[in-house]
Chain A
Amino acid sequence: MNFREFATKNVYRNIKGYFAYFLSSSISATLLFSFTMIIVHPDFVGLKLPNSIRNALYVTTVIAYLFLCFFVFYSVSVFLKSRYKEFGILYIIGSSKKQIQRMITIENIIISSVSGVVGIIVGIVFSKILLAASGKLLGFKALGFYIPVKAMIITLIAFVLIGVVISIFCSFIIKEDMVLRLLKGTKKPKVEPKSSPILSIICVVLLTVGYYLSITSSEKTLAYRIIPVTIMVVVATYLLFSQLSVFILKLLKKNRNFYMKKTTVLWVSNLLYRIKDNTRMLFLITITSTVALSSIGSVYAYWRDKETEVNKISPQAFFYVDTYNNKTKVDYKVDFIENSLKNEEIYYTKVNGEMKFVIPNGDKDEVTIIKEDTYNKLAVALSLNTINLKENETMLVLYLDKNKRKNIILDDKEFRIVRGSDSGVIPALYGNVYVIKKDVYEKMNGGKCYFGALNVNKYKDTLSIGNNYYNKFGDDQGDRYYKNFLKANILENIKIVYGVILFSAIFIGLIFFVTTASFLYNKCYMDLIEDKKKYKQLNKIGLTYSEIKKVLNIEIGVLFLLPYIIAIVHFFFAISSLKCAFEIEITVPALQVIGIMLIVQIIYFLIIRKNYLLEIKKSL
Chain B
Amino acid sequence: MDILKVKNLSKVYGNKIAFNALDNISFTIDAGEFVGIMGPSGSGKTTLLNMISTVDKPTSGEIRIKDKNPLNLKGDDLALFRRRELGFVFQDFNLLDTLTVGENIVLPRVLDGVPVKDQDEELNRISKILGIENLINKRTFEISGGEAQRTAIARALIHNPTLLLADEPTGNLDSKAAKNVMELFEKINKDEKVTTMMVTHDAFSASYCNRILFIKDGTMYNEIYKGDTRQLFYQEIIDVIALMGGGN
Contact = CB atoms under 8 A, between A and B. Distances in A.
A9 B167 CA distance: 28
Contact of A184 (B50, B103, B108): B50
B12 interface: no
A94 B106 contact: no
Contact of B111 (A13, A99, A180, A185): A99
A347 interface: no
Contacts of B96: 10, 86, 89
B62 to A, nearest CB: 20
Interface of A: 1-3, 6, 9-10, 13-14, 85-86, 88-99, 177, 180-181, 183-186
13 contacts: A2-B110, A2-B113, A3-B111, A3-B113, A10-B99, A91-B82, A92-B88, A94-B84, A94-B111, A96-B75, A96-B79, A97-B76, A184-B167
Choose among B55, B97, B106, B112 the residue with the greatest number of A CB atoms under 10 Å from its CB: B55
Contact of A186 (B46, B90, B95, B103): B46
B83 A177 contact: no
Interface string B99-117: 1000100111011110010
A93 B155 contact: yes
Nearest to B87: A93
A14 B103 contact: no
Contacts of B86: 94
Interface string B53-87: 10110000000000000000001100111111010
Interface residues of B, number: 36
Nearest to A179: B55
B107 A93 contact: yes
A130 to B, nearest CB: 38
Contact of A92 (B53, B99, B139): B53
B94 A1 contact: no
Is chain A's interface secondary structure helix, strand, loop, or mixed overall?
helix
A341 B156 CA distance: 93
Given A1-B103, A3-B111, A183 B94 contact: yes
B149 interface: no
Contact of B110 (A3, A85, A180, A185): A3
Nearest to A15: B98
B119 A98 contact: no
B79 A14 contact: no
The 3 closest A-B pairs by CB, nearest first: A94-B83, A96-B79, A94-B82
Nearest to B47: A186
A259 B108 CA distance: 52
Given A10-B96, A181-B56, A93 B108 contact: yes
A186 B107 CA distance: 25
Nearest to A12: B98
Contacts of A183: 55, 90, 94
Given A92-B88, A96-B111, A183-B55, 13 more contacts: A1-B110, A6-B107, A6-B110, A10-B96, A13-B97, A89-B95, A91-B82, A92-B53, A94-B82, A94-B108, A95-B79, A96-B80, A184-B56
A177 B55 CA distance: 7
A24 B85 CA distance: 41
B156 to A, nearest CB: 8
A366 B83 CA distance: 86
Given A6-B107, A94-B84, A97-B76, A85 B98 contact: no
A86 to B, nearest CB: 6
Given A6-B110, A181-B55, A186-B46, A93 B83 contact: yes
Contacts of B53: 92, 184
Nearest to B95: A89
A287 to B, nearest CB: 36
A94 B113 contact: no
Is chain B's interface secondary structure helix, strand, loop, or mixed overall?
helix
A104 to B, nearest CB: 15
Given A93-B88, A93-B107, A186-B46, A10 B98 contact: yes
A185 B107 CA distance: 22
Nearest to B167: A184
A90 B104 CA distance: 10
Contacts of B90: 183
A19 to B, nearest CB: 14
Contacts of A90: 107, 111
Contacts of A97: 75-76, 79
Nearest to B107: A93
Contacts of B116: 1-2
A11 to B, nearest CB: 8
A129 B111 CA distance: 50
A18 B97 CA distance: 14
Nearest to B114: A2
A91 B84 CA distance: 12
Interface in B121-154: 139
Contact of B50 (A3, A93, A94, A186): A186
Given A86-B96, A92-B88, A93-B83, A184 B155 contact: no
Contacts of A6: 99, 103, 107, 110
Choose among B84, B96, B99 the residue with the greatest number of A CB atoms under 10 Å from its CB: B96
Contacts of A14: 97-98
Contacts of B55: 92, 177, 180-181, 183-184
A431 B46 CA distance: 83
B61 to A, nearest CB: 19
Contacts of B111: 3, 90, 93-96, 99
Contacts of B156: 93
Contacts of B167: 184
A98 B94 contact: no
Choose among B82, B97, B156 the residue with the greatest number of A CB atoms under 10 Å from its CB: B82
A3 B55 CA distance: 24
A177 B79 CA distance: 12
B111 to A, nearest CB: 5
Contacts of B110: 1-3, 6
A18 to B, nearest CB: 10
A37 B110 CA distance: 44
B46 A1 contact: no
Interface in B181-211: none
A1 B119 contact: yes
Nearest to A5: B110
B137 to A, nearest CB: 13
Contact of B80 (A2, A10, A94): A94
A88 B92 CA distance: 13
Contacts of B99: 6, 9-10, 13
A178 to B, nearest CB: 11
Nearest to A3: B110
Nearest to A6: B110
A95 B119 CA distance: 16
Contacts of A1: 103, 106, 110, 116, 119
A205 B90 CA distance: 54
A10 B99 CA distance: 7
A95 B83 contact: yes
A99 B113 CA distance: 11
Contacts of A181: 50, 55-56
Contacts of A99: 79, 111
A303 B94 CA distance: 60
Nearest to A14: B98
A95 B96 CA distance: 14
Contacts of A10: 96, 98-99
A90 B99 CA distance: 13
Contacts of A85: 94
